[in-house]
Amino acid sequence: MSTGSAAYAARIGMRRGGLEVRHTFTNSQDLWNYFFPALIFLVVMFFMRGAAVPGTDFSLGSRTLPSVLGMNVAFGGLSTLMMSLALEREDGTLLRAKAIPNGMLGYLVGKLVLVSGMTVASILIVLVPSMFMLDGVALTSVTAWLTLLWVLVLGLVATLPIGAIFGSLFTNPRNAGVIMIPVMGMVAISGVFYPIQSFPEWLQGVAQVFPIYWLALGMRSAMLPDQLAAVEIGESWRQLETVAVLGAWAVVGLVLAPWVLRRMARRESGSSVAERRERAMRRVT
Amino acid sequence: MAVVEEVDTPARETRRPDENVVLDVHDLRMRYGTTDVLKGVNFVARPGEVVALLGPNGAGKTTTIEILEGFRMRSAGEVGVLGVDPAHGGEDWRARLGVVLQSWRDHGQWRIRELLGHLGEYYKPYSTERITRPWPLDELIEVVGLTEHADKKVAKLSGGQRRRLDVAIGIVGRPELLFLDEPTAGFDPEARREFHDLVHRLADERTTILLTTHDLDEAEKLADRILILAGGTIIADGSADELTRAMSTDAEVRWTRDGQRFVHATQDPTGFVRELFREHDEAIGDLEVRRPSLEDVYMAMVRQFEAGQHDAAVRQFSEVTR
């Protein structure tokens, strides 16, 4: 593939992603997926707003907001991409892409644009109402927005390849849901809703291996007043460590994902799609 | 993330790089584990030819087509598709092929016009002096008879409309070679007729078409040439007429004489009828000569082949036990 035709296909892919983002706002299933979790988070934060972060008089609800946004980035990159790859492999979207010149490249670029767009949308849906509801969240400086932006981008780069790898490994989208159980476990230990300093040290260590903790921390560093760094592990926002851990995930993912995706794409054919359709139909009836 | 970056292998020269051969399959073999699915398939197809690949389920039709489409690696043999080995076909090769896939629920949120417009864009860089790619959008939608549904969501289409969309997606890049796998499954008679007109139109524009179908009547109507695949080899290759003659299957002559009905099976219906009139002349009524249909010929060939295979197995067995 020459660079020119790859760049051309990537541009088509971006338009594809844009169209698909628009589609998500025109059907009830996707709208539900945007608004229902957002509503839950808002209710949780509303009831937490009176409580204080241990050792401070800062609202626990306001601390939760950036953490939830960080978690949303991880969910978007991991589960949204994983589920849609597994589903679209089953329904033949991927095979169609494969039958078209440079179609796979366009498809993947489109998918990345779609998932990024959906993640930004789901962040805004939580963020905007929260700004009216919670006190103490400081998104007023340019630095704060820049931090939010780099955490968002780095978070997507760290999690999307992992999502792509898992999406390629599952041949049955209904089994892919299994992966959500450990992800939920990670959320529980990553200090999204409550600081984890009271946890045993080894558990804190485990949490700090995975991207969710760092995404939540990174978002807190962007949106909370600096004195709150004092109640984090190491009494600092540890932005260098955030970059290091998320960067490491990104490197591992970017090395493995192309290989796994190519292997997956190579195996797609009409009969493999037909086989999966048969299986899914049997389940329905 | 730069993924799925296919290595651009230069178009390999095949056995006979011939402008007038679109499909060139020589001794194609495919083995899964210890099972031989294809045991030496040979055939060629020329520009503008419509070739129907028939055969019982499990004969290897799908495997053959998937190898030619470049979706499956073969075990052995030489294959040229538009002069390129499909195992090493690059994107420019891919742009000259059309594949009609069975859709199911993909792209459900897209509108027909939007989807065809989007997919067509991929083909733009592959326009040549002779062929302008992609097919102009409105014309394409009209050709497959979806004009009044052009702004409908794909998920809202009926089965037959979806199938037309599949065909439209298959031809959006104005392919030089088109693969049609069971193209008219689920079509009503009118849709089927319109689809046949489309196939003839594509063939007139020198599109080569390889189709599989279980509808032998359709194969007879559409195909210039018929290949019958059974037991992993091509057991017959020719026009419907040629196959009929080769099998010398009996024609059926029906008539009435003095209110009584008669049926006679013969290989020479013309001679038989001439004789019949010479003998009874005006007493003959309701004359009807039914030539063997492709279906009769197909059934006879597959049965003969299977019986032959059975005989061979028995022979082999008796040799071993002797």
More confident residue, A135 or A34: A34
Question: Which of chain B's residues have a Cβ under 8 Å away from the Cβ of A92?
Answer: 101-104, 106
Mean pLDDT calculated for residue range A205-218: 95
Q: What is the mean pLDDT of each run of 10 residues along chain B (322 residues)?
A: 45 56 94 90 94 89 92 93 93 94 84 96 93 93 93 91 91 95 81 89 92 87 92 89 78 88 88 90 88 83 80 61 52
**What is the model's pLDDT at position B319?**
57
Question: Which of chain B's residues have a Cβ under 8 Å away from the Cβ of A5?
Answer: 91, 125
AA letter at B167: V
**What is the model's pLDDT at position B142?**
93
pLDDT band at A147 (very low <50, low <70, confident <90, very high): very high
Q: Å from A21 to nearest chain B CA? A: 11
Question: Do residue B118 and residue A16 have CB atoms under 8 angstroms apart?
Answer: yes
pLDDT band at A2 (very low <50, low <70, confident <90, very high): low
Sign of the torsion angle spanned by Cα atoms A184, A188, A194, A197: negative
**What is the model's pLDDT at position A164?**
92
Yes or no: say if B3 and A261 are a contact pair by the CB < 8 Å rule.
yes
pTM attached to this predicted model:
0.85
Does the beta carbon of A93 lie under 8 angstroms from any beta carbon of chain B? yes
Question: Do residue A102 and residue B91 have CB atoms under 8 angstroms apart?
Answer: yes
pLDDT at A174 over 60: yes
Q: Which of A26, A262, A270 sits opposite B71 (nearest CB)?
A: A270
More confident residue, A7 or A178: A7
**What is the model's pLDDT at position A54?**
86
**What is the model's pLDDT at position B26?**
95
CA B179, distance to chain mean position in Å, is: 7
**What is the model's pLDDT at position B118?**
97
**Cα–Cα distance between B64 and B49 in angstroms, integer?**
18
Name the maximum alpha-carbon separation found in chain B: 85
B16: its two tokens: 């006979």
Q: Are strands B251-257 and B284-290 parallel, antiparallel or unpaired?
A: antiparallel
Per-residue pLDDT of A233-266, as tens digits, reads: 988 999 999 999 999 999 999 999 989 988 888 8
Question: Do residue B106 and residue A265 have CB atoms under 8 angstroms apart?
Answer: no
